[in-house]
Structure 1
Amino acid sequence: MHTFKALALFWLIAFPGIVNAQDRYVCPSNGSELQQLRIYEVNRSNKEAFHKRFQDHALRIMKRHGFKIIDIWESDSGEKVEFIYLLAWPDKSTMDLRWKEFLSDKEWTDIKKQTAAESGELVREVNGYPLTRVSYSPVCAKK
């Protein structure tokens, strides 16, 4: 299992109290609510340009498309730099629709073209992992 993915899953289980009470999810009985773990391998030489683009543009455009970002991390293993964030979605169909809308957003596609022309490739690889909380999660037991 990917090292950071394992660490992020541990964080979600071990520290559920860090999330504000109003942001906690009712443990779903039908598996409809989910979170999504996104991991980007970032080019080390363009790391600052990546962070600037994400902070100044992606966050704003994602918010406009209904994205709910729970937390954001960076992991530098020495071998590679990864940018990791956790999203909350009401269901998979909403997640798929919002990603489709975001990725085709004219402002976002223009910003990506501009930053690629200025800084080169910012991201080497992107992975997304939809996560559905199981009914026996420690978070559910604390209800």
Structure 2
Amino acid sequence: MRTLTVLVLFWLIALPVSGTAQDRHVCSSNGSELQQLRIYEINRSNKDAFHRRFRDHALRIMKRHGFNIVDMWESDTGEKVEFVYLLTWPDKSTMDSRWREFLADQEWIEIKRQTAAESGELVREANGQPLVRVSYSPACSEG
């Protein structure tokens, strides 16, 4: 949880404090746009295989399904290795339907099967949570 908090804080600080009206529309409370934080605990012993699969296959297939990835990080606390990425979605309904499409994609299913056969389990745990910016976020201020 500490890693998650640090990454979210870093992301919020790294955003510009002021911006165009288009940038600030996400600060409304109508829920019309959201971000999704994805955290995968990956196996240290085969993290290179995980990164190859994500870089060479998942990104391409996600793009085909309309995923918009904002940024990606790796966190190694010594106890565990996590792959963290942030997506942006127009709304929760779109997020949910595109994830369903991606997970049912036959090419992705086959790639996961092949990489598991070659390298074993690549992901120990995967979590995703939607993030809706609050109106008093520093990213919403006029500067």
Change (3 A) 1:73 1:101: same
Structure 2 unaligned regions, length at least 5: none
Q: CA deviation at 1:13?
A: 2.1
Residues 1:61 and 2:84 aligned together: no
In the other structure, the counterpart of 2:6 is 7
1:17 is paired with a residue whose SS is coil
1:107 is paired with a residue whose SS is helix
Letter of the structure 1 residue corresponding to residue 96 of structure 2: D
**Identity value in percent:** 66
CA distance in 2, matches of 1:38, 1:7: 14
Runs of 4+ in 1 over 3 A off after TM superposition: none
In the other structure, the counterpart of 2:123 is 123
1:58-137 matches, within 5 Å, as 58-137=58-137
Q: CA deviation at 1:14?
A: 1.2
Letter of the structure 1 residue corresponding to residue 108 of structure 2: W
In the other structure, the counterpart of 2:52 is 52
1:20-59 matches, within 5 Å, as 24=23, 26=25, 27-59=27-59
Q: CA RMSD in A?
A: 2.0
Q: CA deviation at 1:136?
A: 0.9
Stretch of structure 1 that moved more, 122-131 or 24-33: 24-33
Deviation per CA, 1:7-42: give whole Å up to 9, x if none: 122112211129x97x94522231221000000000
CA distance in 2, matches of 1:35, 1:96: 12
TM-score, length of structure 2 as denominator length: 0.92
Structure 1 unaligned regions, length at least 5: none
Residues 1:17 and 2:24 aligned together: no
